[in-house]
Amino acid sequence: MQSSPEENRKTSEREKARIEEEEQVAGNSTTNLKPDVAGLLCYVGFWVTGIIFLLIERKNRLVRFHAMQSLVTFGIINIIWGTANTVRYWLLGWVSPDWLWHGLVYPQYVAATAVFGVFLAIWWVLWIVLMYQTHHGRVVRILWFGDLAVTLLAKLDGISKQDLEETLGYPEPQKEPGQPSIPAAKESEQAWGRRHRDFEDTRSGRIASSSAVIAWSVVFLVFFNLFSEYLAYYQRETIDGVTVWNIYPLLTQEFGLVLPILNTTLILAIAGHIVLIILDRYLLRQITVLVLNILGMVTVLTFLKVFPFDFGVIPISLAAILPTVAVAVLIVIAVGLGIGALVRFVKVIVNLSKRG
């Protein structure tokens, strides 16, 4: 079916406007560098050059996206790498020179070294791919990291995410014939996904999130201070027809070294989120969660250093790998808290930049 002259004219005008907009966006530059060259330089020095180009390039949105993506991606990976490396050296201090000489090391050290190597490999692969693709004029939007970069850059520049995505070549899907109108589509399943991602941006979402943190913090505070001995291995034994339960606690006496830090973190989490429910302020929330994430990461790293667990009381073959599993879980939690801290830090910087 052929299009009418009027439809052809409108299509031609839209295409012409799009090309003009792309040329304008690509042509305007504070640095007078081509977008592919400037984008490449955003990744050359990892998050450092990302910050530099985010500060000096004020016009070209494409270059600013590369700078923000470099900052977010390599900043988060840098935290992961630093956390894994710190844990690795902490665990190395527990290993005697004789064990290292004979190749006998703790499984915790092996797990930390493996995590360290994996994230280091991801770091270098991403670095090479991003530089190569950007230099050839392709916009690579990394899963999750790229979405976060778009969100932060849109807030920093005071534009909508849709406008920024169209600049990057990621326009919103076109409405097919027979689809509901825009107001009705907002109630569709597709629109629900967007509302779900923005749940924290609503007052009710923030209250629900803070309430959940308060509830879980109270549970952990009560449990670890009053009932920690029940975190144990239970063994049933029958003697002279009488069944008794033997309890072997999994937490050692060294747990007392971790408990004050854990209590401080939990109490501050409860107090901080109570304040956030009462004083609903964006910047206050970001700073509070940033501090709590850092405290949480310090607490988890203290667990790793002290390691107040005794899995030897479990008389099964699985107990041999439990220390490695526990260390891996703690490392993942620490990395997650570090990523959360970096995200909040970037949001604070973006908000302060907009205020300035």
Higher-confidence residue of 260 and 208: namely: 260
What is the structure's pLDDT at 109? 57
Q: Is 341 within 8 Å of 290 (Cβ atoms)?
A: yes
The pLDDT of 243-256, averaged and rounded, is 84
Facing residues of 247 across strands? 234
What is the structure's pLDDT at 91? 56
What is the structure's pLDDT at 161? 80
What is the structure's pLDDT at 280? 83
* Banded model confidence at residue 21, pLDDT cuts 50, 70, 90: low
* Banded model confidence at residue 321, pLDDT cuts 50, 70, 90: confident
**3-class DSSP assignment, residue 144:** coil
Distances (CA, A) of 40 to 25, 74, 126, 164, 165: 17, 14, 13, 19, 20
What is the structure's pLDDT at 85? 65
**Radius of gyration of the chain from Cα atoms?**
26
**3-class DSSP assignment, residue 65:** helix
Task: Flag whether pLDDT at 111 surpasses 70.
Answer: no
Judged by phi (left if over 0) then psi (alpha if -120 to 50, else beta), residue 28 lies in beta
What is the structure's pLDDT at 77? 80
The pLDDT of 126-152, averaged and rounded, is 84
Task: Flag whether pLDDT at 356 surpasses 50.
Answer: yes
Give pLDDT tens digits for 156-165.
888 888 888 8
- Could you tell me the pTM of the whole model? 0.51
The pLDDT of 193-215, averaged and rounded, is 66
**3-class DSSP assignment, residue 248:** strand
The pLDDT of 336-346, averaged and rounded, is 83
Give the DSSP letter of residue 319. G
Nearest to 219 by CA among 278, 266, 251, 289: 266
What is the structure's pLDDT at 23? 47
* Banded model confidence at residue 244, pLDDT cuts 50, 70, 90: confident
* Banded model confidence at residue 181, pLDDT cuts 50, 70, 90: very low
Q: Which long-range contacts (CB under 8 A, 24 or more apart) does 51-59 make?
A: 56/30, 56/31, 57/29, 57/30, 57/31, 58/30, 59/28, 59/29, 59/30
What is the structure's pLDDT at 293? 92
Facing residues of 238 across strands? 243
* Banded model confidence at residue 291, pLDDT cuts 50, 70, 90: very high
